[in-house]
Structure 1
Amino acid sequence: MTAFYLLAGFNHFINPEFYLPLIPPFFSNPEKINVLSGITEIILAIGILFYPSRKYAAYSIILMLIAFIPSHVYFIQIGSCINDGLCVPEWIGWIRLLLIHPVLIYWAYCVGNSSS
C-alpha cells in the first residue's frame, strides 16, 4: 500500500496534466487541490509504514478516497474522456467508481486493522 500511494502521490507532481482535468470545475483552484492531494498521498503512504501511525494513516486514506468520489463521478459525467488525456469506455469509469474504489477503501480498512 505504501508503494501504491507513494507512486500516486509523486505522480501528482510529475504529471499534473493528468489530474487537473479530472478535478470538477465547481472546485476552485485545481492546481492547489492537485498539490495537496499529492502531498497527502505521500504523507499517508509513509504513515502506513509505522505501526503507531498505521491505523490513523489507513483511516485517513479512506477519508481521502471518499473525498475523491466527486472526481470519479465528474469523469463519468463527461463521458469518461478528457480531451488530449485519459479516454476510456464509460463502463470503465463505472467500474473504477463502483468496484475499484470500494476495493481500495476495503484494503485501507484491512491495513488499518492489521496487527503487524
Structure 2
Amino acid sequence: MLPAPDRHPALRRRLRVGLGAFFIVGGLAHFVAPHLYHPMMPPWLPAESHRPLIFLSGLAELAGGIGVLTTRFRRPAAWGLVALLIAIFPANLHVALDPAAAAAFGFSQLVLWLRVPFQALFIAWVWWSCLRPPGAEPPGK
C-alpha cells in the first residue's frame, strides 16, 4: 500500500526552515554568550563540567539546526534534537524552581515556568516538521 500524499508540504518545509534557524541561532548563542547559560546549570552537575556542557549543547543545537535543513540528515538530526530537548529539560526545570538561578538568568520565575511546557511544543515542532510520515493521519482520524 502506498503512503498517503503529504497534505501540507509547504507548511512542513516552512516549519523546518524556522526550526533550523531557531536551533542555529540558539546554538551560536552558546558560543557567543556562554555566560547566559551558566545559571541554568543544575548544582548537581560538577562546576567544571558547566562550560563544556554549554558548548556541547550549543554544538548539538547547531548540528541539529543545520541537519534538519538537509534531506540526507533530516531524520537523524531531528531525533538528535528530540534527545537534546529531553536532556536539557532538567536545566530548564532547575532555573524555573530556583529563585537565585531565575534572578541570575534575568527573567521572572513566572516566565521561566511558562518556558517549561515549551519543551513539549518544541518536540512536537521537530516531530511534525521532520519525523512525522508525510500524509500520516493523527490518532482518531
Return the structure number with greater relative CO, CA threshold 8 A, min gap 6: 2
Larger radius of gyration: 2
TM-score (normalizing by structure 2)? 0.73
2:10 paired with 1:3: no
Any runs of at least 4 consecutive aligned residues in structure 1 with deviations exceeding 3 A, and if so which? Answer: none
Report the structure, 1 or 2, having the larger helix content: 1
Identical columns (%): 25
Q: Report deviation, 1:59.
A: 1.4
Question: Are 1:54 and 1:111, in contact at CA under 8 Å, matched by a contact in 2?
Answer: no
* 71-80 or 61-70, larger mean C-alpha shift: 71-80
Distance in 2, Cα, partners of 1:91 & 1:101: 16
In 1, Cα distance between the equivalents of 2:63 and 2:21? 12
Q: Give SS of 2:66's match.
A: helix
Indicate the residue corresponding to 1:105 in structure 2.
123
C-alpha distance in 2 between matches for 1:55 and 1:95: 29
Equivalent positions of 1:12-31 (< 5 A) are: 12-28=30-46, 29-31=49-51
**Equivalences, count:** 112
TM-score by length of 1: 0.88
Matches of 1:75 and 1:113, distance apart in 2: 30
Unaligned runs of 5+ in 1: none
